[in-house]
Amino acid sequence: MKRQTTEKNIKDYKDDYPRWQPYMKSTYKILIPDMLPWHFALIERLLKLEGYDVELLRNETRSVIDEGLKHVHNDTCFPCLCTVGQYIDALKSGKYDVNHTAVIMSQSGGGCRASNYIPLIRKALRAEFPQVPVLSLNFSGLEKDSSFPVGAKLMLKLVFAVYYGDTIMWCYNQTKPYEVKEGEADKARDKAIELVISKFEKGGYRKYKKITRAITEMFSAVERSGEKKVRVGIVGEIYVKYSSLANNHLEDFLMSEGCEPVVPALMDYVLYCVVNNINDGRLYGKKSLFITANKVVYSILRRMQKNIIKIFKKQGVFEPIHDFEHLRRCADKVLNQGVKMGEGWLIPAEMAALAETGTENIVCTQPFGCLPNHIAGKGAIRTLKNLYQNVNIVAVDYDPSATKVNQENRIKLMLATARENLAAGK
């Protein structure tokens, strides 16, 4: 069934680019984009402990967006634009020795444009900082000459960091809107981060049950009022969902509106990527060592997740993080798990799971013109409404020129309905 192809020459149209060399570890600074403020802060500290000179970028001025607009194609998605803008703005700031600076970006290798961020960043940097190497953080064997080296041990540490980041974010969001004494939740968060870092530093970071328990206790110690607030889930494209630069500080906005933001865990996305590889085997009968390895990884991660959920339940203060198997079942109600590009089936799965766990108000965030989101985001809302009568979803596009007024006005409409539902006790 494969079409015959004769031996062909290969014409090279690739421009040269600087590669990351192992020796650079000691002399180069690596810039991390501000994608996941919670997790990346942890990972930043973690990588420093590993001997990398990393820095999480926090620049958010208008010039970030302007640099992005200048350096990437008009129709490229917003996350890419933000990231490129952040890099270039930072490199131009004079704070860094541009001859000894590299940048890093994650790469999933899926069928969505996001897998092309690395070449796009490279292209953007070429105009002004051709000497800056671009590192890819991926687990699919892409960009072999520019991958960030992740050994088994570091991988394990990253997994723990993601779980801890999730737990901290999850507890914080359930504490902050209700704190009686202002600033207590933030104190608890800082304490939790210090705890996690100290474990990475001094060892003992693998005792995740103990650490998780400690984190939840730190937050549950914060005095919280018992008032009922509107809970609003945030789902969508991974970058826009988490990054306040991209989503105009959506979490803060929701809190200022007296709501409790519910932001699903990052580990769900990691598991989603792993499961997609397994699904390729299940759906299309593919067999490979890679798929088997993913199955192993999945079972390990799942076991940890189950234990973490158990801790949440036992402690009984906070709503536990989502159970990934539950998410998968939720997805099946809406669409096939074969929809695996971008955030694919994870988006409707999260929306359904939120609806089933008492968060019926949802902001579905997406970069303007995001292809997978046409299907898994906007396209799935009708099905979700049929499944969950009271679900109250607003799809919001994010874009360099979409204004905050416009976005907030739409969110406010959703909130008006949410408040009415809350008052009616629905």
Pick between residue 129 and residue 164 the one whose CB is nearest to another protein. 129
- Considering the rule CB under 8 A, would residue 14 count as an interface residue with another protein? yes
Q: What whole-number distance in Å separates Cα of residue 381 and Cα of residue 379?
A: 6
Q: Looking at the DSSP assignment, which residues form a beta bridge with residue 362?
A: 233, 393
Q: In this chain, which of 197, 250, 370, 391 binds another protein, going by CB under 8 A?
A: 370
What is the number of alpha carbons within 13 Å of residue 318 lying toward its C-beta? 31
User: Per residue in 279-288, is it b (16+ CB within 10 Å) or e — as a string?
Assistant: bbbeeeeeee
Q: Binding residues for another protein, how many (CB under 8 A)?
A: 85
Which pair of structure tokens corresponds to residue 213? 């328990």
Among 232, 297, 331, 339, binds another protein (CB under 8 A): 339
Who's near 91: CB < 8 A, 6+ residues apart? Answer: 31, 98, 101, 125, 128, 129, 132
| Alpha-carbon span 163 to 271, nearest angstrom | 12
Tell the smallest beta-carbon distance from residue 202 to another protein (Å).
40
Contacts (CB under 8 A) with another protein, residues 381-410: 381-383, 385, 389, 395, 397, 399-410
Which of 1, 289 has the CB closer to another protein?
1
**Whole-number minimum distance, CB 198 to another protein, in Å?**
40
Burial class from Cβ neighbours inside 10 Å (0-12, 13-18, 19+) for residue 125 reads buried
Using the contact rule CB under 8 A, the part of the chain among 33-41, 282-290, 294-302, 325-333 near another protein is: 282-290
Site for another protein (CB under 8 A): which residue of 95, 413, 423, 426?
413
Q: Given the complex with another protein, which of 64 and 197 has the nearer CB atom?
A: 64
- Provide the token pair at 166: 């999730």
Which neighbouring-strand residues pair with 101? 29
Q: Taking CB under 8 A as the rule, does residue 283 contact another protein?
A: yes
Q: How far is the CB of 157 from another protein (least distance, A)?
A: 28
For residue 153, give the 3-state DSSP assignment.
helix
Question: Under rule CB under 8 A, which residues in 79-118 are in contact with another protein?
Answer: 109, 111-113, 115-116, 118
Closest CB 328 distance from another protein, rounded Å: 15
Q: How far apart are CA 195 and CA 93, in angstroms?
A: 33
- DSSP 3-state of 392: strand
Contacting another protein within 33-72 (CB under 8 A):
62, 69-71
**Which residues ranging from 349 to 368 are in contact with another protein (CB under 8 A)?**
368
Q: Pick between residue 168 and residue 335 the one whose CB is nearest to another protein.
A: 335
In the region spanning residues 135 to 154, those forming contacts with another protein, defined by CB under 8 A, are: 142
CA 265 to chain centre: 8
Residue closer to another protein by CB (options 173, 276) is 276
**Residue 415 interacts with another protein (CB under 8 A): yes or no:** yes
Residue with tokens 């504490």: 175
Smallest gap from residue 14 Cβ to another protein (A): 5
Interactions with another protein, residue window 158-217 (CB under 8 A):
none
Token pair listed for 270: 């990691």
Q: Which of 135, 193, 271, 341 binds another protein (CB under 8 A)?
A: 341
Q: In this complex, which beta carbon is closest to another protein, that of residue 9 or of residue 26?
A: 9
Q: Token pair of 321, please?
A: 């993080």
From the list 122, 157, 224, 241, which residue makes contact with another protein (rule: CB under 8 A)? Answer: 122
> Across the beta sheet with 230-236, what order do the strands follow?
259-262, 230-236, 361-367, 392-398
338 counts as binding another protein under rule CB under 8 A: yes
